[in-house]
């Protein structure tokens, strides 16, 4: 079996521990909203660390294991290509652990979704910024990121790898025009960006539009939420 979806079941930690014994047989595992705490996460993480072939994807979204679970989960990222930890109550400390592991990967991680971790904030983005060059797709929607966090992200992208990130979703963060101005400096580092519902008004829209026009056709990203071309 390559794909197993047990989302929306009250498996809890006992179910996660049981599943950890057969995880070597899977490629994709969806355990979204299964009432798993850090106890279950630890069992899953240890199992993933032992597989001979990297797991393609694990979805642990909407399990409130917080920073404690993120710390236990982080070692298994060395054997994981795609991870969804959206809405898991992860804060700066947990994101720091995840970021440290991704930074040490020998290859880029295909996808990280850390959206709807509402207390992640700018501190979490500061922690995440060290591994941006190792991510192909990053979703950090609705994480209470301000313009300060976007500036950190922009600066990290400018000094990181020359390879553009395929997708960056920062929608539903109220970073406003200042954040848009920061993003305008690094647009060429992305292929797609989502800035919907970010409190960007005409000034920020114009800044993004002007920045895009300065890029060559091959460098221009697709921007969701940009209404002034």
Is residue 229 one of the residues assigned to a domain?
no
Report the alpha-carbon distance of residue 229 to residue 226 in Å, rounded: 7
| CB 168 within 8 Å of CB 192 | yes
State residue 229's pLDDT score. Answer: 64
The pair phi, psi for residue 183, each rounded to 5°, is -65, -35
Output the six-digit token pair for 7.
């989302």
Output the six-digit token pair for 169.
């979703």
State residue 151's pLDDT score. Answer: 98
Output the six-digit token pair for 126.
């500061």
- State pLDDT tens for residues 21-53: 999 999 999 999 999 999 999 999 999 999 999
Specify the pTM: 0.96
Is residue 48 one of the residues assigned to a domain?
yes
Is residue 160 one of the residues assigned to a domain?
yes
The number of domains in the chain is: 1
| Residues of the chain under the 70 pLDDT cut | 160-162, 229
The CATH number of whichever domain residue 50 belongs to comes to 3.80.10.10
Own/partner pairs, 217-222, CB within 8 angstroms, 24+ separation: 219/187, 219/188, 220/187, 221/164, 221/187, 221/188, 221/190, 221/191, 221/192, 221/193, 222/191, 222/192, 222/193
Q: How many CB atoms lie within 10 A of CB 187?
A: 20
Q: How many CB atoms lie within 10 A of CB 146?
A: 16
State residue 57's pLDDT score. Answer: 98
Give the domain range for residue 129: 3-224
State residue 163's pLDDT score. Answer: 78
Is residue 205 one of the residues assigned to a domain?
yes
Is residue 98 one of the residues assigned to a domain?
yes
Q: Which residues pair with 219 in a beta bridge?
A: none
Residues 6+ apart with CB under 8 A from 193: 167, 168, 169, 170, 183, 187, 221, 222, 223, 224
């Amino acid at each position: 079996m390559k794909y197993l979806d047990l989302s929306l079941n009250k498996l809890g930690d006992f179910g996660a521990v049981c599943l950890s014994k057969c995880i070597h047989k899977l490629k994709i595992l969806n355990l979204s909203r299964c009432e798993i705490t850090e106890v279950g996460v630890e069992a899953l993480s240890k199992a993933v660390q032992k597989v001979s072939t990297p797991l393609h994807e694990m979805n642990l979204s909407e399990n409130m294991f917080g920073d404690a679970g993120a710390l236990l989960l982080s070692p298994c990222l060395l054997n994981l290509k795609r991870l969804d930890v959206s809405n898991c109550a992860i804060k700066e400390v947990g994101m720091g652990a995840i970021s440290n592991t991704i930074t040490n990967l020998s290859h880029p991680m295909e996808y990280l979704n850390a959206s709807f971790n509402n207390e992640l904030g700018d501190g979490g983005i500061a922690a995440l910024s060290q591994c941006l060059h190792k991510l192909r797709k990053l979703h950090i929607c609705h994480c209470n990121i301000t313009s300060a966090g976007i500036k950190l992200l922009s600066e990290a992208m400018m000094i990181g790898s020359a390879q553009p990130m395929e997708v960056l979703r920062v929608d539903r963060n109220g970073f406003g025009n200042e954040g848009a101005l920061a993003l305008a400096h690094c647009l060429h580092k992305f292929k797609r960006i989502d800035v919907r519902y970010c409190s960007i008004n005409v000034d920020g829209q114009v800044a993004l539009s002007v920045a895009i026009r300065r890029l060559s056709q091959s460098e221009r990203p697709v921007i969701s939420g940009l209404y002034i071309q």
